[in-house]
């Protein structure tokens, strides 16, 4: 199981999207116009969002590690760290199971489920406190983290530590595998570009006006939960706000509009950065292949 090192804070376990010139949007916002550079103009959207739309897949999703990929990488890293620590005579106790993460886009544009709004407000449904990892001794920590003088650690453990040694067998570096930087950057870029798109700004104003008519004053749906979701359970005011939030999203088709606009931006970014994304995909596949080899070598022979 991968454990903390001095080179990274905390526990080092790998835990590691419009209406096409239709009723909701102005025709002018869908044009690219004259001699304007098409790559700088807002991308055209070809889908018509419906009321009640929920966050769904985005074009970049296939470039991220899937849940299965995360599980494979985590399992391989755990095996490598455990073998390294055992070989050094400082075996680790079993780590607690990793809790499942929510769907990738569940709250990308804020809360969207009427049922969850009515039951939990802005709190996460079924949120539990993550299990506490078992403590490690100072000797185990040195074997995990490595030694500052470059000499072997306790029990002959590698100077870089069992964590970095395990990571190196998967990534070729001392860093654990994660989604490629270019993928994470484009994911953030598409969100910011879509948020600043005139079509999304228009629907955000409509959402804000809808909320204000109900007695709730927020500039956007990502502002609403910030002051409400910290307590142990949702208050009556929080639930009322969340229910109005989702109702206004449905009434203004906010999620469908924003999701479709962001999808258009992601398609553009994927085309513009195709070479970098292809290289990132090859690197991801290489790391998954190495992880599969580790898992095969550890599987009991039949």
3 state SS for the chain: CCCCECCECCCCCCCCCCCCCCCCCCHHHHCCCCCCCCCCCCCCCCCCCCCCCCCCCCHHHHHCCCHHHHHHHHHHHHHHHHHHHHHCCCCCCCCCCCCCCCCCCCCECECCCHHHHHHHCCCCCCCCCCCCCCCCCHHHHHHHHCCCCCCCCHHHCCCCCHHHHHHHHHHCCCCCCCCCHHHHHHHHHHHHHHHCCHHHHHHHHHHHHHHHHCCCCCCCCCCHHHHCCCCCCCCHHHHHHHHHHHHHHHHHCHHHHHHHHHHHHHHHHHHHCHHHHHHHHHHHHHHHHHHHHHHHHHCCCC
- Predicted confidence band at 39 (pLDDT cuts at 50, 70, 90)? low
Assess whether pLDDT exceeds 60 at residue 11: no
Assess whether pLDDT exceeds 70 at residue 22: no
Q: Which residue would you say has higher pLDDT here, 237 or 229? A: 237
238-260 per-position pLDDT tens digit: 999 999 999 999 999 999 999 99
Predicted pLDDT at 185: 98
Assess whether pLDDT exceeds 70 at residue 129: no
Assess whether pLDDT exceeds 80 at residue 5: no
């Amino acid at each position: 199981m991968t454990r903390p090192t001095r080179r990274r804070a905390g526990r080092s376990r790998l835990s590691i999207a419009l209406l096409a010139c239709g009723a909701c949007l102005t025709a002018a916002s869908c044009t690219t116009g004259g001699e304007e550079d098409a790559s700088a103009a807002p991308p055209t959207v070809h889908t018509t969002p419906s009321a009640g739309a929920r966050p769904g897949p985005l074009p970049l999703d296939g470039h991220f590690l899937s849940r299965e990929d995360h599980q494979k990488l985590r399992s391989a890293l755990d095996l490598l760290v455990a073998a390294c620590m055992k070989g050094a005579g400082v075996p680790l106790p079993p780590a607690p199971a990793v809790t499942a993460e929510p769907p990738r886009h569940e709250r990308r544009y804020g809360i969207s489920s009427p049922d969850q709004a009515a039951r939990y407000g802005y709190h996460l449904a079924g949120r539990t406190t993550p299990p506490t990892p078992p403590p490690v001794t100072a000797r185990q920590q040195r074997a995990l983290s490595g030694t500052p003088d470059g000499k072997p650690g306790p029990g002959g453990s590698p100077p870089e530590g069992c964590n970095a040694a395990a990571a190196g067998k998967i990534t070729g570096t001392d860093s654990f595998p994660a989604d490629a930087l270019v993928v994470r950057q484009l994911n953030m870029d598409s969100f910011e570009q879509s948020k600043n798109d005139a079509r999304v700004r228009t629907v955000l104003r409509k959402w804000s006006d809808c909320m204000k008519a109900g007695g709730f004053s927020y500039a956007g749906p990502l502002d609403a939960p910030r002051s409400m979701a910290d307590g142990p359970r949702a208050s009556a005011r929080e639930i009322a706000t969340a229910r109005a939030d989702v109702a206004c999203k449905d009434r203004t088709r906010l999620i469908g509009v924003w999701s479709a606009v962001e999808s258009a931006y992601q398609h553009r970014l994927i085309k513009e950065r195709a070479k970098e994304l292809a290289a990132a995909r090859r690197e991801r596949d290489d790391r998954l292949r190495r992880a599969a080899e580790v898992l095969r070598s550890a599987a009991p022979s039949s």
